[in-house]
Structures are given as structure tokens and as C-alpha cells.
Structure 1
Amino acid sequence: MTALTSFWPFFDLTLTTPRLVLKPVADDHIGAAVAAARSGIHEPGKSPFSTPWTEQPAEALGPNMARWYWRCRAEFTPESWTLLLGIWHDGEFIGCQDVGARDFAALKTVSTGSWLKQSVQGLGFGKEMRAAVVLYAFDWLKAEVAESEAATWNAASLGVSRSLGYELNGVTRTTWGDRVEHVQKIRVTPETFKRPDWTLKVEGHEAAASFLGVS
């Protein structure tokens, strides 16, 4: 990985919370990511994702996940980007947290999404990893708004958002895969964000900030 970091600065970025390490998904992490996803993320037929990637045949999951990681990296520009962060707990890959933006220089707005394997859900990791990327967005990237969304039935995700100070921002009706869902939009600002009682440790920010044009 040393050679890659010389021209792809995000591989140097690491966010550390009391229990988790968040770092960009590199090629040698993809196997662990696929294994975590294959272990189960949600109940069958109850996908919380607008793109039902977890409901594909098992043999397609690995190639499709790899393509998604590669696509996000290949299409990453200062004007349009999605940063995919693997979540590590005690050396084990347990999920993924993304943060992204469009026209960030003008809008100062990021959006987030995430997943955790079922065996570690309910332990507060979802809140901790979301707090990490929101702290990074507000304090390091100088974002002014963080947005997210969840199906209206997804009480766990909306509960995490509520606990961090997100406010409701309208409901839309849209297609998720082959079905129609009502989706709750939410947003939080530095003023409404309920900060955790711990400090986020950030390493490797300088090169990432330079690439994004963040002073």
C-alpha cells in the first residue's frame, strides 16, 4: 500500500474512535468486506438499501462489491466524491461507512450511508461510526450540513440519527429495487449536532484535504 499512497492520498486517512478504526477500503480489504456482508446484514426481504445489493445471488456479491469500491475510487473528484470507509473493531472488518458530496466547494453539504454485519448490530457501533464521519465533515472538512435518509420503517437507523441531533427533512416516495418505499430525509448542522463525549483522532488528513481543495 505504500506505493499507492504516494498518488492516492485517501489511503493515508484514518479516523479512530474509542472502539473503532475507520479507513478507506483498499483492494486488500475487499475480501474481508465481502465476508462480513455474506455473514448477513438484514433479515431476508427487508433490505434497508435503496439499491438491493445484498439480495443478489451469493456468487455475484463479491464481484459487485469490488466493482462498487473501484468505481467510487475511479470517479472520485473534488467536485463529486464518495469516500468508502471500512469499519474495524478489534482487528475485524465489521461494516462500511460512507460519506460523500456533490459540488462541495459551493454547497458544503455531505451525505452518509452505512452498513454493519448483523452479529455486531445493537452494540452502538452504528452511532459511533456515524458520529465519526460527521465530526470529520464538520471539524476537518468544514461542512455546514450533513444529510442522510432511511426507509420510514427503519427505526434503528432513524434512532441513531435522532440521537445525534438530526432533524426531519421531508418524506419522499421512491423505488427501492423492485418495490416502492417511503423514505425519511434527515439533516444535521454543526449547531444541532449532538457531539459525543469522546474526541475523534484523525490521521492522514493533510493530503486528503489538499486533493479536495479544503483549506
Structure 2
Amino acid sequence: MLVDHFPLVGLRLTTPRLELRLPTPEELADLADEAAEGIHDPAVMPFLVPWTDRPPADVARGVILHHWLRLGGWTPQSWSLNLTVFSEGRVVGLQTIGASDFAVTRTVSTGSWLGRRHQGQGIGTEMRAAVLDLAFTGLGADEALSGAFDHNATSYAVSRKLGYADDGTQRHAVGGKLGIERRLRLTRDGWERHRKVPVSIEGLTPCLPLLGAG
């Protein structure tokens, strides 16, 4: 079975409303469709790499290729786990958690996107809480990093709600324009004080060596 060779396909995170896991091929197609329908105001770019600034068919194909690229380049020293987010069995978005040299740094970073029709319902907070539980409870992380451009008030609000603290700013060129990123850092203490979403983790133990935590 595939899970015997690549146990991450058996990893599941569940919250009161959501399930996060690697998708089947057809579910990956649904995720691509969700992205192609739009995930933010076209007038404002929330991503450092402007991957959504393309025709819908190219956006959809990019989601699929990026998913395969991350899995194909996987090593315990450098990994990025793109978990599809399901609400009531329906694909609603993507939640990423990644790390470099986790065995030494004990640090993860996160990123995400959510289909526009699913925004404003608290799903973004709940799916981030799921991977933070994976990081701190499951992997024994010491800290988690995130960031958002200064115009992305929604992402910033989610981070602060979950206990992140400001960690400086960084200037980027995005589409030929200046973008100011507000960096954020969550310590284990901050996570424990703001932890409110119950999370269940299944299938983690065989994944630990692949995540640099075994």
C-alpha cells in the first residue's frame, strides 16, 4: 500500500469543523478548481509570489504542479506539507506547514489560502490552529513563523488571535511594486496560552522520520 512507503498519505488532522490531509487526485482537481474561482480581491496581491495573477486555467494547473513539486522534492531536512482543507467533506482551501532542518531549529512556518466563498466563517483560524497543534504537540516545535503584507488585515488578525507576536518587517518587490511584510512569531508559551481549538492527529508516528522529528 502507498501508506507503507509514504506514510504522510495517512496523516489526518481534524478539528470540530475541518479535516486536513493530503488529497486524492480527484480532490486535488477540486482544490485547483477552488483556486481558479478566486481567493482574493484581484486588485490586491497577498502573496510574495503572485501565482494567482494568471488566467484561471493556469492558476488551477499551478496548484496541481506545486503540489506534486513539493512531494517530489521531499527530504527530512527540507519539507513543505500542503494539506487540503475539507469542511463537511468539501474542499475549501489549502494549509501549508514546512520546515528546514527541523531536527536542529525546531521551527516551522505556515501559509494558507481559502476559497473566497468560504472566507469570513472562522475557517482560516481553525485550519491554522490544526497545523500549529501538529507542530507543537505532534513534532515538539519550539516556535512557528508566519507573515502577512501590511494590507492583509485578515491574515494578521488570525495570527494575533492564535498568539503570534510581531517580529519586525521585511521589504519585498511584488509585481514590480514595494510590499511590506509584517513578520510574526509564535512561541510554545504563546501557543499554550491561546490554544482554544481541539485538534485530533491521526497517523503521525510513522511520519516523524520524514518530518525530521523521528
TM interval, shorter chain, is: over 0.9
Tell me which residue corresponds to 2:6: 8
Check whether the contact 2:37–2:56 (CA below 8 A) recurs between aligned residues.
Answer: no
Tell me which residue corresponds to 1:197: 196
In structure 2, C-alpha distance between the alignment counterparts of 1:144 and 1:76, rounded to whole Å: 22
Check whether the contact 2:36–2:57 (CA below 8 A) recurs between aligned residues.
Answer: no
User: How far off is 1:213 after superposition?
Assistant: 4.2
Helix, strand or coil: the match of 1:142?
coil
User: How far off is 1:177 after superposition?
Assistant: 3.2
How many residue pairs align between the two structures? 213
Helix, strand or coil: the match of 2:195?
coil
Helix, strand or coil: the match of 1:55?
coil
CA RMSD in angstroms, aligned pairs only: 1.3
Q: Alignment partner for residue 48 of structure 1, among 30, 33, 46?
A: 46
Normalising by structure 2, report the TM-score: 0.95
In structure 2, C-alpha distance between the alignment counterparts of 1:66 and 1:38, rounded to whole Å: 11
Helix, strand or coil: the match of 2:68?
helix
Helix, strand or coil: the match of 2:137?
helix
Tell me which residue corresponds to 1:149: 147
Equivalent runs, 1:95-114 vs 2, <5 Å: 95-114=93-112
Helix, strand or coil: the match of 2:168?
strand
Normalising by structure 1, report the TM-score: 0.95
Equivalent runs, 1:11-26 vs 2, <5 Å: 11-26=9-24
Tell me which residue corresponds to 1:163: 161
Check whether the contact 1:110–1:143 (CA below 8 A) recurs between aligned residues.
Answer: yes
Identity, in percent, stands at 37
Tell me which residue corresponds to 1:85: 83
In structure 1, C-alpha distance between the alignment counterparts of 2:168 and 2:113, rounded to whole Å: 23
Amino acid at match of 2:80: T
Amino acid at match of 1:201: S
The 10-residue stretch of structure 1 (7-16 or 172-181) with the greater mean CA deviation from structure 2: 172-181
